[in-house]
Amino acid sequence: MSSSTAQQDLTAYVNGAFVPLEDATIHIEDRGFQFADGIYEVVACFGGNFLDLQPHLERLQRSSEGVRIPLPCSLNHIAELVQQTYERNPFKDAMVYIQITRGAAPRSHLPHGELTPTLIITSRLLPKPSDAKLATGIKAITLQDIRWKRCEIKSIALLASVLGKQEAALKDADEAFWLDEEAHVLEGCSTNILAVIDGALVTHPLDHQVLGGITRNMAIRVAKEHGLTVVERPWKLSEANLTEAMMSSTTNAVMPIHCINEQMIGDGKPGKLTMQIRSWMLEAMDALRSA
C-alpha cells in the first residue's frame, strides 16, 4: 500500500477503542493540545516484526517518569496495542506512533487531581529515504540550540524542531543540527548525528542535550560488533580528520551527510563507513522481514 492510502482505510487506537482514523478525535481541552503536555515514541515494524520494541517502550516509561505522566496501562499492554494497531493497518513496513498526554481538563498550568492520560496509537507507511538522497548524501545546516534542557525526554513539545526543519528547508537542506554554546554538535531536529573522526565513530554522549536514539544505539552496537572504535564525547565540525558524518533515526536507519553549512564533509560523497554501518543495519531489518 502506498502513503496515499485513503484515510478511511486506516485505523487508530484512541483511549480504549480502535476507530477509523477519520473519526479519531480527542477533547479540545486535552493537555497535549493546549500545553504539549505529553510524550511519544515512533517504532518501526518490518513485515510484522518490530525493531527494538522493548527499548522504545522502556524509553517511553523513562519519558513518562520524567514528566510525571503515569502510563495509562502496563508496558506489556501497550506492546499488545501497538501490535494490534499495526495489524489493523495495511502497511508491511510501518512506523507506529504512540502518544500519551496527561489527559483532558479545564485549562490550568498546574494539573489538578487525578487525570486520565490520553493514549493514541497510529500506524503509517514507513518512509524510505530516496535512492537519490542515498547516492549523494543529505545536506544539512547547524543552528544554535534553542530547545529546553531536558532533551533526553521524548516530549511532544517540538516547536523548536519544527522551526529548525523550516530553517533547513529554506536553505534547501534536509536537517538542522543543534550546536551548544561552544559549537559542539548535539543532534538534529529529529535525528542523532555521528561522525567519523580519525577512523573512529564519534557521537555526543547521552545527557540532557540529546535524545538517546534507539537507532543511535543500534549504529553503535553494529559498529562495535564489527570491531570499529566508538567514542562518545563532545565533538565539533572543525575537528581535523573528520571524514564522514551520518544521521540516525527510526525512519532513516543511518543516512550519509555530504555537506553541512555548504561545507563538504570529507570528499563530499557518502562515507564508506557510513554506508557499511547502514548495510549492517539493513541486514538486521531484512532479517526481521523474513523472521
213 binds ligand PDD (CB under 6 A): yes
Q: Which residues inside 14-53 make contact with ligand PDD, applying CB under 6 A? A: 42
CB of 159 to ligand PDD, least distance (A): 13
Size of the site for ligand PDD (CB under 6 A): 14
4: exposed, middle or buried (C-beta count within 10 Å: 0-12, 13-18, 19+)?
Answer: exposed
For residue 237, give the amino acid letter. Answer: L
Of 11 and 191, CB closest to ligand PDD: 191
Helix axes 214-225, 272-289, angle to 10 degrees: 110
CB of 177 to ligand PDD, least distance (A): 10
Grid look-up 540550540 returns: 145
Only one of the segments 72-80, 107-115, 208-216, 224-232 lies at the binding site for ligand PDD (rule: CB under 6 A); that segment is: 208-216
* DSSP-derived secondary structure for 64-75: HHHTT---SS-H
61 binds ligand PDD (CB under 6 A): no
Do residues 156 and 36 lie in contact, with contact meaning Cβ atoms separated by under 8 Å? yes
Is 272 one of the annotated active-site residues of the chain?
no
Q: Using CA atoms, how far apart are residues 254 and 154, in angstroms rounded to an integer?
A: 20
Of 86 and 104, CB closest to ligand PDD: 86
Options 31, 216, 258, 278; binder of ligand PDD; rule CB under 6 A: 216
225: exposed, middle or buried (C-beta count within 10 Å: 0-12, 13-18, 19+)?
Answer: exposed
99 binds ligand PDD (CB under 6 A): no
Options 192, 203, 209, 274; binder of ligand PDD; rule CB under 6 A: 192
191 binds ligand PDD (CB under 6 A): yes
Options 119, 248, 257, 271; binder of ligand PDD; rule CB under 6 A: 248
Q: Using CA atoms, how far apart are residues 179 and 185, in angstroms rounded to an integer?
A: 5
Cell digits for 231?
A: 567514542
204 binds ligand PDD (CB under 6 A): no
Residues found near ligand PDD in the complex (CB under 6 A): 42, 187, 190-192, 211, 213-216, 248-251
